[in-house]
Amino acid sequence: MNIMILLVAIVILLCVLVEKFSDRFGMPALIFFMFIGMLFGSDGLLKIPFDDFKLAENICSIALIFIMFYGGFNTKWKAAKEVAGKSILLSTLGVVITAGITMLLCRVLLHIPFAESFLIGAVLSSTDAASVFAILRKHKLNLKDGTASILEVESGSNDPVSYLLTIVAVSIATTGGFGNVIGTISIQLIMGIVVGIVFAKITIAILMKTNLVSDGLDTIFMIASVLFCYGLTAFLGGNAYLSVYLFGIYTGNQKIRKKNELIPFFDGVTSLAQILIFFLIGLLTFPHQMPEIIKIAFAVVVIITLVARPLAVFLLLKPLKCPWNQCWLIAWAGLRGASSSVFAITAVAAGVSMKQDLFHIVFMVSLFSVAIQGTLLPKVAKKLNMVDDSADVRKTFNDYQEETAFQLMKLHVPEGHKWVSRLVKDVTMPTGSLALMIKRDGKSLITKGDTEILAGDDIILSVPPYSPTETEKLEEIIIEKDDHWCNKPISELKISKHKLIAMIIRDNQPIIPDGKTIILEDDVVVFFTI
């Protein structure tokens, strides 16, 4: 057990470190997660034997729940609603067309049996939300004509449709017939939509209109709500992935308490989920089997990337007068990854008997997609003249905080300060700032030119915002009793020319220092460093 815990920790640490340095290699970090899995696998250095597809399915399904939820939760509907129609077309009919063309070409060109061709098309018909989101955000890929929002909503919402097709394909492959396909599809869609929206409204009501959730437990409550939404939908025979995605969309675009805490938490959970999925994909892979399927896998890559996906995009978007360059970019951005691999694992775990090695074919397609398409996506966007330097892709996500035209700053006026007993109009405020009010004896006073400043006042200033560059940073230190700076004025200190004492926090009050300011024990000294 201890060895297992140690191995898990090592895997996560390796993946975290790879994420940090992936840009140096010019490839998305997700591909390195796969390689780490292969490194630990049966054909790797550690030779850990793992071929339990049922266990992998359970782990990956739970991970995909949170990826689906957060894909919806972090999508800003205000930015996406103008292009929602195009996204929904791509995530529904686009998935069906992609699967159909892939199935047809696999059957005609590669002579793969119908049931297996259908399964390959179904599994590979969705684009990967985790990969698309990661690339857009990491490269700050600001795209024209709402393209980023189209990709976000499409990649987040097409997994349920692909999953539905996969269920139908598995049923055909295992039973040899279609069964009650229309009934299955109807129940899947209806229950997925109803449970997702209804439970989202219940969750919002509990969070906003009751005191049932104690302070500090909002995050745990949301985790339980996501799992409950998925579990209830699955129990009722509905499309559980569709349900949690709609649940995420609805809750993420409402004003709920502690939302500023929920977003970074689920961002971390989603990152861990991606690590788990791509690591397990690598762990389940047997590289020695690759030569046997490399030709078919490459053919499927060509079919899905250069034929099926582009045809689906152009057939649906050109009638809506989308520019050619936008259509080509959307077609190229159809990355395959986590969801396709999870659905392939689901099919294998269901006991589908195939002549073709479904999992390794999907693995090769996902590897190519993330490595080639993902790496080249920023360059392709620039080549197609689809990059908008005036836009900000972060605005399409709910974790983006809109910058205001000014920021507020509190300035404490201590006893003996040169502003004491002077009028506001007679003092020189920091350049570009404006005194809005004075906090005095627990009361707030709107400042005017003839307002007198007294000792102990807290002056609230509006100041222009500034975002430090990568070479600029703020750092702070706490002054200890035996520190050589303690009880010395700033003018006597030896400070690097690249550093400036920007502020001193004393007794929870900020002090703007000058050369005469004496640094005391327990002071928090804030440095601005270039």
SS (H, E, C) 164-218: HHHHHHHHHHHHCCCCCHHHHHHHHHHHHHHHHHHHHHHHHHHHHHCCCCCCCCH
CATH 3.30.70.1450 residue spans of the chain: 403-466, 468-530
Q: Tell me, what amino acid is at 61? A: S
> Can you tell me the mean pLDDT for 157-186?
81
- With beta carbons less than 8 A apart as the criterion, state whether 513 and 490 touch: yes
Q: In the prediction, which pLDDT does 232 show? A: 94
Q: Where in the chain is the domain with CATH 1.20.1530.20?
A: 2-395
pLDDT given at position 90: 92
- Asked if residues 246 and 201 have their Cβ atoms less than 8 Å apart, the reply is no
Q: What is the CATH number of domain 2-395?
A: 1.20.1530.20
Angle between helices 114-123 and 159-175 (to 10 degrees): 160
148 touches 141 (CB < 8 A): yes
Q: Is the pLDDT of residue 394 over 70?
A: no
Under a CB-based contact definition with an 8 Å cutoff, are residues 369 and 337 in contact?
Answer: yes
- 176: pLDDT strictly greater than 80: no
| 398-433 residue pLDDT tens | 554 444 456 777 888 888 888 888 888 888 877 767
What does residue 18 show for φ and ψ, rounded to 5 degrees?
-65, -40
Report which DSSP code applies to 440.
Answer: E
Q: Summarize the confidence of residues 183-200 as an average pLDDT.
A: 88
User: Which pLDDT score, from 0 to 100, does residue 107 have?
Assistant: 92
Higher pLDDT, 120 or 527: 120
Distance separating alpha carbons of residues 80 and 63, to the nearest angstrom? 25
- The answer to whether 102 and 125 are in contact (CB under 8 A) is yes
Q: Identify which has the larger pLDDT, 457 or 471.
A: 457
Q: Residue 467: phi, psi to the nearest 5?
A: -105, 115
pLDDT above 70 coverage of the chain, percent: 91
Contact criterion met (CB below 8 Å) for 424 and 435: yes
pLDDT for residue 401: 47
CA atoms of 391 and 337, how far apart (whole Å): 27
CATH of 468-530, one of 3.30.70.1450, 3.30.160.270, 1.10.20.140, 3.40.50.740: 3.30.70.1450
pLDDT value of position 402: 45
129 closest CA partner among 161, 101, 158, 109 = 158
Q: Which residues pair with 460 in a beta bridge?
A: 410, 437
CA pseudo-torsion sign 74, 79, 81, 86? negative
Helix (H) or strand (E) segment spanning residue 376? helix 374-383
- Residue 189's Cβ-count burial label (10 Å; 0-12, 13-18, 19+) is middle
Average pLDDT of span 324-349: 89
Greater confidence (297 vs 139) lies with: 297
Pairing between β-strand 509-511 and β-strand 499-506 as defined by DSSP bridges = antiparallel
CA distance 473 to 439: 30
Q: Go through the chain and tell me how many residues it has.
A: 530
Q: What is the mean pLDDT of residues 11-18?
A: 79
Homologous superfamily of domain range 403-466 = Regulator of K+ conductance, C-terminal domain (3.30.70.1450)
